[in-house]
Amino acid sequence: MIDISVDKKQLVKIRKYVSDDRFREVLRKVLLAAGMELEDIIVENIKERATNTGALAQHWTVKDLSYDKVKVFTNMQYAPFVEYGTKPHRAPFEPILKWVQQQLRIRGKKSKGVAWAVWQKIAKQGTPEKRYLCDALEDFNLNKWIDELIRTWENV
């Protein structure tokens, strides 16, 4: 799990206002909006670099856990392998064959030959990293969201 936190100056100001129920509700909404922006960046990166079936891009969720905590996550178990790549390994053949047939639209005996070639490449080289999440985190700026919230709150 990766945590993103506000900087210390912002935290001091947040603590000053957090006893107000209205501020907590606005903070919750701001964090949800920020989480949705992060999700959008992640999904865009997946679509640019890592999509085969589109399932990984479609299975991201933003959930508010409390007024000061939001979770952006996927339940796709293979997500870390797409993010970080893999070492050479013996991948299951059937999913590769299915991918060749669906994504490359190759059928019959030829699909098995292509799938076998893909399988051998993975066995020898592994799979490359796609860095859809790490790069999204670098592009995401939680501080701008919190700065705007504090600026607006102090001017009300």
Query: Same structural domain for residues 148 and 75?
Result: yes
Question: What pTM value is reported for the model?
Answer: 0.87
Number of domains in the chain: 2
Same domain, 120 and 144: no
Residue-by-residue pLDDT tens, the chain, 156 positions: 678 888 898 999 999 999 999 999 999 999 999 999 999 999 999 999 987 778 999 999 999 999 999 999 999 999 999 999 999 999 999 999 998 999 899 999 999 999 999 999 999 999 999 999 999 999 999 999 999 999 999 987
- Residues 7 and 46 placed together within one structural domain of the fold: yes
Q: Do both 51 and 111 map to the same domain? A: no
- To 10 degrees, the CA torsion angle through 109, 113, 114, 120? 160
13 plus 42 within the same structural domain: yes
Statement to judge: residues 72 and 141 lie in one domain: yes
- Structural domain of residue 59, as residue ranges? 1-79+130-156
73 and 14, same structural domain? yes
Residues 45, 106: one domain?
A: no
